[in-house]
Amino acid sequence: MLRLSFTQKSGLLILALLLAYALGAPLLQSGDATTQNLSQILTAPNADYWMGTDHFGRNMWLRLAEALQLSLMMAALCVLTSALIGVTAGVLAATRAPWFDRLMDGVVTMILALPGLVLVLIFAAIVPGSFWMLYVAISLIQWIEYFRISRAITQRLTQSPAVQSSQLMGFGEWYIFRRHYWPAIAPQLFTIAAFGAANAILMMASLGFVYVGIQPPLAELGLMIVEHFSYYSDAPWLLAQPLIALALVVLACQLMGRGKSL
Amino acid sequence: MSLIHIENLSIYAGMIELLAPISLTVEKGERLTILGQTGSGKSLLAQAIMGNLPRSLHSQGQVSLFGRMVDNAERQAFWGTQISMLPQEPWNSLDPLMGAKQQLEQTYRMVAGESPAEARQQAAYTLALQGLQDSGHKRVDQLSGGMAQRVAIACAMAGGAQVLLADEPTKGLDVSRRDQVVQQLLSQSEQGALITITHDVAVARQIGGRMMVIKSGELVEQGQANDILTAPKHPFTQALIEADPKNWNEAEGDTRHGEALISAQDLTIGRGDTALSKHLNFTLHQGEVVGVVGDSGCGKSTLGDTLLGVHNAMGGQVKRHSKAPRHQWQKLYQDPTAAVSPAVSLRTLLNDMVALHKIDRSRIAPLMQQLGLAEDLLERNSEGVSGGELQRFCMLRALLLNPVFLFADEPTSRLDPITQREVSQLLVDVAKQNGCAVMLVSHDPDLIEKRCDRVIRLSA
Amino acid sequence: MRQLLLKRLLQLIAVSWGVGTLTFILMRSLPGDMAYRIAASRYGMDAVDNRAAELVRQELGLDQGALAAYWQWFTDLLSWNLGNSLVSGTPVSESLWHMLGHSLLLAGAGMLIALLIAIPLGLASAYWGGWLDRTLLTVSTAMRAVPVFVIGLLAVILFALEWNLLPVAGFGTPAHLVLPALTLALSLAAISNRVIHTEAQRVFGSSFYEFARLKGLSPWQAFQHHGIRNIAVPVVAFLGIQLITVIEGVVMIESLFSWPGIGHGLAHAIFARDIPVIQGAALMMGMMFVVLNTLVDIACHYLDPRGGRIA
Amino acid sequence: MKLIKATALGALTVLACSSTLSSAAPTEQNTVKINAPFEFSSIDPSRSGYVFTRLQVIETLLNVDTQGNLIPGLATDWQILEQGTRWRLSLRDGVVFHNDKPMTPANVVAALKIALQKPGAWQGVPVKDIHVINDHQIDIELNTAYQPLGAVLANYASAILAPEAYAEDGLAQQLIGTGPFSVYELAVPHRAVVEKFDQYWGQKAHVEYARYLTGHRAEARVLQARSGQADIVFGLDPAAVPTLKRLPNLEVVRSDLPRTLVVKVNASQAFLDSVEARQALSYALNRQGIAMAVLRSPEAASAQILPPYMSDWYVADSDSSQNLAKANKLMASLGWQKNSEGWLEQDGQRFEIEMITYADRPELTTVATAIQDQWKQIGVKLNVNITNSSAIPAGHADDSLDTALIARNYGVIADPLGTLIKDIGQEKGGDWGTMNWSNSYVKTTLTELLSETDPSVYRQKAQRIAQAIYDEKPLIPVAYYVQQTAVSKRLQGFRFDPYERSFFLNELTWVK
């Protein structure tokens, strides 16, 4: 259904590779990401530790995989929830009574009053270190993007001849949504979803940076970058791994989002 | 000394030849019209002459202006001062953020080299000449199509160019605006030369001078305009001329029709809070074809929508004498591609309707055959078929609902002349066979004359 | 124009009330007893004990009912008295103005440098295209793929440590401003140079621009009279949207370079549960955000008389 | 139009710029730049006086030498009369405040009386009255003998300020002290610049200015040290120490201080109320691994809360090595079996506890993560919750706390008895000490020691208390806290105060 441009295909490829690594890694090496080995800290990648060990002697091969799993899961969950809420609210705002539209406008202005990160910061401070509170906060901010796009498209389509003719022919609301609104919204959704996923991961990493995000021992890319920063001179690869992983996963999402090369 | 002389100029996209080699000369004071269907490579010829072909195309052959052989780069120096071109969409060729007068002034000042005071005075004079003196400050989005076209022409000639190339100058304009623009072109290029590119036979007839007819990149006929128009030799030219509604044969004017279907009593129609037409009284009968004509903006489409119940009347009322259910009052749209969802194949859309209204499938094949719709057409979606085919598909869908009333809102204005003739004929015949009343709207009085039993004139 | 300003004013009031109440509710529901947190910030981590917390509770009346506290806070807000910081006791508005000055300085410098980088690169890549366009595309995509604090970390490693040219953190001399502003500018320019590129390409390819050339205007005249303004309208509108990334970037960069701005203050106040400072900072940020948006709206209106914002 | 926007922005930045830049007289050459993790939320001695005693702006009547013995400060000597209920202090003469006014006994009494009402070190001291005796002596009368009073007088909360320094409500609004440095410029909460005070009674400073800056982030402080923007950096993250050691422009000073990383245990919590459970948790700790890999100082591992040089309180034979077998046996004896996922379980309940710690000290989060994994080896599920340090006293007050990882300084008051009484002596234990530990012997003996003068009896009782703490493990020590400080090589004569009372800035000299 989706004709992917070259950039989107390369994005998909990178994402597939990362997913394969994230899910495949635990199968290739036994043990879990939190077992420490205090006598083997900061070892460079070698035979039995393919990606070396971190400052607790934990196996980076498994730990990075777990961090990637967390980021991808957060991205997927946030995109799904915000898309669901955003599109339904958008279509309803465009088709239902005007007071609903004004109400949604008020809510949106309120949320947009503060940059997303500040709001998430406050939410994360309430229940520090909980994945679910972060997920709720990020989705709360991201649904607006979907709301605005779907409302704009639906508003334009309600006046269009196609919808008018379907109404004249006696088709119901659900059919009009399925045949007219959804096919127009869907391609746009893909772009926003891809960028939404990228932003969700970036935001979670940023919160890790300000020590409000995830609590130990959970592995998270942003927190890892901060923890490993002080070892940058005697174990540079330790800092490089989460950095590159984060850059790749965000790059993959952004490439997928870019139909034509922006 | 010829103003323009071209020796077998041809245009290629890579290896494919878009325009076969063509030669022409235009002397001082001469007028040349290039006639052809849309997409036959006419505008490429104009761009080749001017030297602004898109990067992906390249041309061969020699072009000499004012007796001197010039390649693309040198020709740019001639732009504006010696030769000037008017691109197709006038409302796109003016800067959206700048007033009309300001743009004209600017051309006088920078191209003709006049002092700011002279330029301002000259611009005011030219605009007054065109009757636009009070809309000088307006921006493009505040001007009508016709007004924008006239400002664009003024700008094109402001540089003092002797030769003007006009590419489809009357596209999308209604009849009265079209004639005004043609007159302006003729007067502006009195001393120099005018090359006009159009698909509208009526425009060609008004301009006169020499004419060349192009069919899909090939020069098929050339000579004096009125000779070709009165006695076309090439079959394609004949079909083109006959497609002009002026030459259609008269409708039988059959006055038999069933009893009253719907009538307007002292009806006032309008959009938003502005009333467009007041105190309309008429009655439509079953199987009758009624035409509605008037300049754009006089409420033709609003009248139809009010009858259909999509818009509510501002005054008076619409009385329906028949109990036919809502889905038997149908509408055909000006732009079929906007009225049919491209998301799925035409077959699926058809199946949706059949399922909704439990239509007996056996009726589809004969109707499609009658409407000249091939079976495999249904596999494609609305963007995969031509404008004519799509309009006929809309008619199929409407007819399957056994409509009692069909409001056709300029159904053929977007189609090329030949298809326009076929589809409008088909519409009237099929409606009459199925006893369906038709209200046909168009801005072309000839078309309405030739197709309808009765005509309602709306004044702006 | 007046109607636009009225709408923004309404938004300002709604924002201040909304943001204020939102932070008030959120902070009352924070886990951990506020009195203890404040005592910890006041008397030092190890010395805080129940006696100190009890003292703080009486002194600041922390145990008065939620509604009474809210009403009292609301009346204070109307008289623009944001109360005193629970921790340091200094009036909130005074320290916030001080912080706001730093944040505006950082945001202003960041956006200025971003424009200085993005405009020439965007226009050049649109006009010539080719290898310049491709390299810019890859660099911008890479830059957008990393969070702003990573750019900051790399800048610190490179400039401050390896070449030891610039100070790492803190404030005072102009040299302190260079690294944070540069980090913010790079993260902004990565996106805006591509936007300028797309808008410039749209204008250069549009028929009114071609007609201007056909009318006889030289390439430079066409660009000067028709190009600049038509490109500027969507770009300025985009700057309005980019404000969100500016403020979010500022919060991250301030905590990385410990630049005493409002973002840093907010993050720190959240940790210390200093409610008045949090409300003040969130309010100030909300207002700063709406005011900056209004400025962009005015610029857009002035640039594009048609009123509608293209972006 | 584009021009207008650019100039508007430019003007804004210039305006903002001028308002923040202060043209400080101190220059790069004459200022010692100090960076530490501790903010001073106000200038009142009771609140963050420790910053200003360290910057040697304000001084106390008594001081403490490196072995923890009391030595003369603003008071030349002190006698304890009438069985410890009257302390007579003779004041040093020739001491001048920063406002050039001489320090009189009346000033001292006034300052002490103000310090008395504020929370902190003076809590629980049974003071009857303080009054002037003659032109160079004052008396402090107590209701009952209070042996640690000397240590309280050496605490920052009892610093002596000039009368003009105090506002009516007793809060200091200007720091007019007696130290070798006076305040030059203050920006609460994170920037202070002090200037050499020429009329100082003791050893005058060589360095002209000193600038104190709070650095919240551990890695930002390390960067300051590396790039030379700070001459002295306290609170170094142990992880960065190896890299800093290799740098030519600075040296890393390691110093032991009486601060211990301790796991505070709620002895009334369902799983932790038995001694065997606490001993099992202690055996499960790999103290050598933590000391070597996390704290980067192998000999810091310790099974006792107090350092060896506090010999009265140090139990001779203590074993700090990891012993998983013994730990598992102890847990089994309590009826815990490992379930399928490897967690200990007993009649449907999993052995799951929470550990609270705070991020202000970089080592705490890393040590907590290490403990979490080590306790996992014996099946104990530990959830680490990093929040603000106030959550620990709050958890203690409402009994919601399971365990907490803290860095308790037993040397704030030179003699540990004072701290031990506060941490262990109270009925429920102490916010930063034991919690609901039922051992009446220890509580009664501690109060007796308060008035015990015979050293051999004092030592014998102290040993029994130390042995009880070591055996019943109401507090599970992990390691001694090692303070790492980076000092720039352009300075000479830096020495670190184990009791964190002073930076000894007046002993610093520039390397020529």
Query: Tell me: the pLDDT tens digits for B409-436?
Result: 888 877 777 778 888 888 888 888 888 8
- Tell me: do D288 and D357 sit in the same domain: yes
- Assess whether pLDDT exceeds 80 at residue C84: no
Residue of A nearest to B409 (CA): A161
**Going by C-beta distance under 8 Å and a sequence separation of 6 or more, which residues neighbour residue D193?**
D24, D26, D31, D183, D184, D185, D186, D209, D210, D211, D212
Q: What is the ipTM of this complex?
A: 0.75
Average pLDDT estimate for D313-336: 87
Q: Which pLDDT score is estimated for C7?
A: 75
The answer as to whether D253 is a domain residue is no
Q: Does D432 touch chain C (CB under 8 A)?
A: yes
What percent of chain D is modeled with pLDDT above 90? 9
Return the SS3 of D89: strand
* pLDDT band at D18; cut points 50, 70, 90: very low
Q: What's the CA gap between C60 and C74, in Å, rounded?
A: 17
| Mean of pLDDT over chain D | 83
What 8-state DSSP symbol labels residue C160? I
CB-CB under 8 Å, A128 with D222: no
**Going by C-beta distance under 8 Å and a sequence separation of 6 or more, which residues neighbour residue A139?**
A77, A78, A81, A82, A85
CB-CB under 8 Å, C230 with B79: no
- Tell me: do D175 and D284 sit in the same domain: no
Residue-wise pLDDT tens digits, D451-498:
777 778 888 888 888 888 888 888 999 998 888 889 988 888 888 887
CB-CB under 8 Å, C50 with D431: yes
CA distances from D281 to B284, D322, D331, D433 (A): 96, 10, 9, 18
- Assess whether pLDDT exceeds 80 at residue D432: yes
- Assess whether pLDDT exceeds 90 at residue B376: no
- Structurally, how many domains does chain D consist of? 2
- Tell me: do B241 and B260 sit in the same domain: no
**Going by C-beta distance under 8 Å and a sequence separation of 6 or more, which residues neighbour residue A186?**
none
**Residue B221: beta bridge partners?**
B213
Residue of D nearest to A210 (CA): D217
Q: What's the CA gap between A122 and D487, in Å, rounded?
A: 38
Q: Which pLDDT score is estimated for B423?
A: 82
Q: Does D388 touch chain C (CB under 8 A)?
A: yes
CB-CB under 8 Å, C290 with A117: no
From B230, B246, B262, the end of a domain falls on: B246
**Going by C-beta distance under 8 Å and a sequence separation of 6 or more, which residues neighbour residue D492?**
D508, D509, D510, D511
Q: Cβ atoms within 10 A of the Cβ of D66, count?
A: 12
Q: What's the CA gap between D454 and D461, in Å, rounded?
A: 11
Q: What's the CA gap between A135 and B263, in Å, rounded?
A: 61
From B246, B269, B295, the end of a domain falls on: B246
Q: What's the CA gap between A68 and A242, in Å, rounded?
A: 9
Torsion of CA D152, D156, D160, D166, to 10 degrees: -120
* pLDDT band at B254; cut points 50, 70, 90: low
Residue bearing tokens 């004012």 = B66
Which residues of chain C neighbour D47 with C-beta distances below 8 Å?
42-44
What percent of chain C is modeled with pLDDT above 70? 82
CA distances from D94 to D75, D91, D131 (A): 12, 10, 21
Residue of D nearest to A226 (CA): D219
Residue-wise pLDDT tens digits, A98-147:
889 888 888 887 787 777 887 887 777 667 667 888 899 899 889 998 99
- Tell me: do D385 and D407 sit in the same domain: yes
Q: Which pLDDT score is estimated for B256?
A: 65
Bridge pairing between strands D191-196 and D209-214: antiparallel
- Tell me: do B262 and B216 sit in the same domain: no
Sign for the CA dihedral angle at B226, B230, B236, B239 comes to positive
Q: Which pLDDT score is estimated for B316?
A: 84
What percent of chain D is modeled with pLDDT above 70? 94
CA distances from C148 to A116, A139, A232, B144, C238 (A): 15, 21, 18, 49, 19
Q: Which pLDDT score is estimated for D17?
A: 44
- Assess whether pLDDT exceeds 90 at residue C186: yes
Bridge pairing between strands B210-215 and B218-224: antiparallel
Q: What's the CA gap between A33 and A42, in Å, rounded?
A: 15
The answer as to whether D249 is a domain residue is no
Which residues of chain B neighbour C213 with C-beta distances below 8 Å?
52, 76, 79
- Tell me: do D71 and D177 sit in the same domain: yes
**Going by C-beta distance under 8 Å and a sequence separation of 6 or more, which residues neighbour residue C58?**
none
What 8-state DSSP symbol labels residue D443? H
Interface mutation vs chain D, best among C27, C33, C36, C38, most D CBs within 10 Å: C36
Structure tokens at B88: 């197709």
| Mean of pLDDT over chain A | 85
Interface mutation vs chain C, best among D47, D117, D390, D396, most C CBs within 10 Å: D390
- Assess whether pLDDT exceeds 80 at residue B210: yes
In chain B, residues 157-186 whose CB comes closer than 8 Å to chain A: none
Average pLDDT estimate for D339-358: 88
- Tell me: do B121 and B214 sit in the same domain: yes
Residue of A nearest to C18 (CA): A110
**Residue D408: beta bridge partners?**
D260
CB-CB under 8 Å, A248 with C23: no
Structure tokens at B409: 């809102």
Q: What's the CA gap between C289 and C47, in Å, rounded?
A: 39
- Tell me: do B81 and B184 sit in the same domain: yes
Of the two residues B299 and A147, the one the predictor is more confident about is A147
- Tell me: do B333 and B232 sit in the same domain: no
In this complex, the residue of A41, A230, A233 whose CB is nearest that of residue D219 is A230
Q: What's the CA gap between D158 and D137, in Å, rounded?
A: 17
- Tell me: do D177 and D46 sit in the same domain: yes
Q: Does D397 touch chain C (CB under 8 A)?
A: yes
Q: What's the CA gap between D241 and D203, in Å, rounded?
A: 33
Domains of chain C (ranges plus CATH)? 1-92 (no CATH), 93-303 (1.10.3720.10)
* pLDDT band at A72; cut points 50, 70, 90: very high
Q: Does B have 3 or more CB contacts under 8 Å with C?
A: yes
- Tell me: do B225 and B258 sit in the same domain: no
CB-CB under 8 Å, B352 with A179: yes
Q: Which pLDDT score is estimated for D20?
A: 40
* pLDDT band at B252; cut points 50, 70, 90: low
- Tell me: do B176 and B82 sit in the same domain: yes
Average pLDDT estimate for C255-270: 81
Q: What's the CA gap between B431 and B396, in Å, rounded?
A: 11
CB-CB under 8 Å, C105 with D20: yes
* pLDDT band at D19; cut points 50, 70, 90: very low
Helix (H), strand (E) counts: chain B? 16, 18
What's the domain range around B182?
A: 4-246
What's the domain range around D353?
A: 258-481
* Strands (DSSP E) found in C225-267: none
The answer as to whether D316 is a domain residue is yes
Q: Does D342 touch chain C (CB under 8 A)?
A: no
CB-CB under 8 Å, C14 with A110: yes
Structure tokens at B446: 């000839």
- Tell me: do D175 and D200 sit in the same domain: yes
What 8-state DSSP symbol labels residue B249? P
What 8-state DSSP symbol labels residue D301? B
Structure tokens at D74: 């603003």
Torsion of CA C143, C145, C149, C150, to 10 degrees: -80
Which residues of chain B neighbour C215 with C-beta distances below 8 Å?
79-80, 84, 107, 111, 155-156, 158-159
- CATH of residue B212's domain is 3.40.50.300
Q: What's the CA gap between D285 and D319, in Å, rounded?
A: 12
Residue-wise pLDDT tens digits, B377-394:
888 888 888 888 888 888
Work out how many CB contacts closer than 8 A connect B with C: 71
The answer as to whether D237 is a domain residue is no
Work out how many CB contacts closer than 8 A connect A with B: 50
Distance to chain A for C149, nearest Cα, Å: 7
What are the backbone angles phi and psi of residue A4, rounded to the nearest 5°?
-90, 135
Of the candidates B400, B353, B355, B352, the one whose C-alpha atom is nearest the C-alpha of residue B373 is B400
Average pLDDT estimate for D231-258: 84
Contact (CB, 8 A) for D91 and D75: yes
Domains of chain A (ranges plus CATH)? 6-26+58-258 (1.10.3720.10)
Q: Does D have 3 or more CB contacts under 8 Å with B?
A: no
- Assess whether pLDDT exceeds 90 at residue C116: yes
From B227, B246, B265, the end of a domain falls on: B246
A touches which chains (3+ CB pairs under 8 A)?
Answer: B, C, D
The answer as to whether D336 is a domain residue is yes
In this complex, the residue of D190, D227, D358 whose CB is nearest that of residue C161 is D227
Average pLDDT estimate for C268-290: 77
Which residues of chain C neighbour A220 with C-beta distances below 8 Å?
none
Q: Which pLDDT score is estimated for B344?
A: 87
Residue-wise pLDDT tens digits, A178-231:
889 998 888 888 888 888 998 899 888 888 777 675 677 778 888 888 888 878
The answer as to whether D317 is a domain residue is yes
The answer as to whether D164 is a domain residue is yes
In this complex, the residue of C15, C27, C146 whose CB is nearest that of residue A247 is C146
Q: Which pLDDT score is estimated for D2?
A: 47
Type of residue numbered A202: L
C touches which chains (3+ CB pairs under 8 A)?
Answer: A, B, D
The answer as to whether D34 is a domain residue is yes
Q: Which pLDDT score is estimated for A88?
A: 93
- Assess whether pLDDT exceeds 90 at residue B320: no
CA distances from A131 to A60, A220, D316 (A): 21, 10, 47
Structure tokens at D150: 């000397």
Torsion of CA C109, C112, C117, C119, to 10 degrees: 170
* pLDDT band at C307; cut points 50, 70, 90: low
Q: Which pLDDT score is estimated for A89?
A: 92
Structure tokens at D384: 């680490």
- Tell me: do D204 and D315 sit in the same domain: no
- Tell me: do B206 and B222 sit in the same domain: yes
- Tell me: do D325 and D367 sit in the same domain: yes
Query: Mutual orientation of helices A182-209 and A60-95 as an angle, nearest 10°?
Result: 140
Q: Does B have 3 or more CB contacts under 8 Å with A?
A: yes
Which residues of chain D neighbour A38 with C-beta distances below 8 Å?
286, 289-290, 292-294, 370
Q: Does A113 touch chain B (CB under 8 A)?
A: no
Average pLDDT estimate for B69-78: 79
Interface residue ranges in chain C relative to chain B, Cβ cutoff 8 Å: 206-208, 210-217, 221, 225-226, 229-230, 233, 303-306
Of the two residues D330 and B28, the one the predictor is more confident about is D330
Interface residue ranges in chain A relative to chain D, Cβ cutoff 8 Å: 34-36, 38-39, 41, 55-57, 128-129, 211, 215-217, 226, 229-231, 233-234
CB-CB under 8 Å, A179 with B341: yes
Residue-wise pLDDT tens digits, C117-154:
999 999 999 888 788 888 998 899 888 888 888 888 88
* pLDDT band at B457; cut points 50, 70, 90: confident
Q: Does B54 touch chain C (CB under 8 A)?
A: no
- Tell me: do B242 and B260 sit in the same domain: no
Of the candidates C268, C241, C311, C239, the one whose C-alpha atom is nearest the C-alpha of residue C99 is C268
- Tell me: do B251 and B240 sit in the same domain: no
Distance to chain C for B382, nearest Cα, Å: 28
Buried b / exposed e over A73-85, threshold 16 CB at 10 Å, is ebbebbbebbbeb
Return the SS3 of C133: helix
- CATH of residue D55's domain is 3.40.190.10
Q: Which pLDDT score is estimated for C42?
A: 64
- Tell me: do D469 and D501 sit in the same domain: no
**Going by C-beta distance under 8 Å and a sequence separation of 6 or more, which residues neighbour residue C281?**
C96, C99, C262, C265, C266, C269
- Tell me: do B320 and B231 sit in the same domain: no
- Assess whether pLDDT exceeds 60 at residue A78: yes
- Tell me: do D264 and D204 sit in the same domain: no
- Tell me: do D383 and D422 sit in the same domain: yes
Type of residue numbered B74: E
- Tell me: do B194 and B316 sit in the same domain: no
In this complex, the residue of C23, C149, C285 whose CB is nearest that of residue A206 is C149
- Structurally, how many domains does chain B consist of? 2
CB-CB under 8 Å, D239 with A34: no
CB-CB under 8 Å, C229 with B85: no
- Tell me: do D272 and D409 sit in the same domain: yes
Q: What's the CA gap between A50 and B436, in Å, rounded?
A: 79
Contact (CB, 8 A) for D509 and D276: no
Which residues of chain B neighbour C305 with C-beta distances below 8 Å?
97, 139
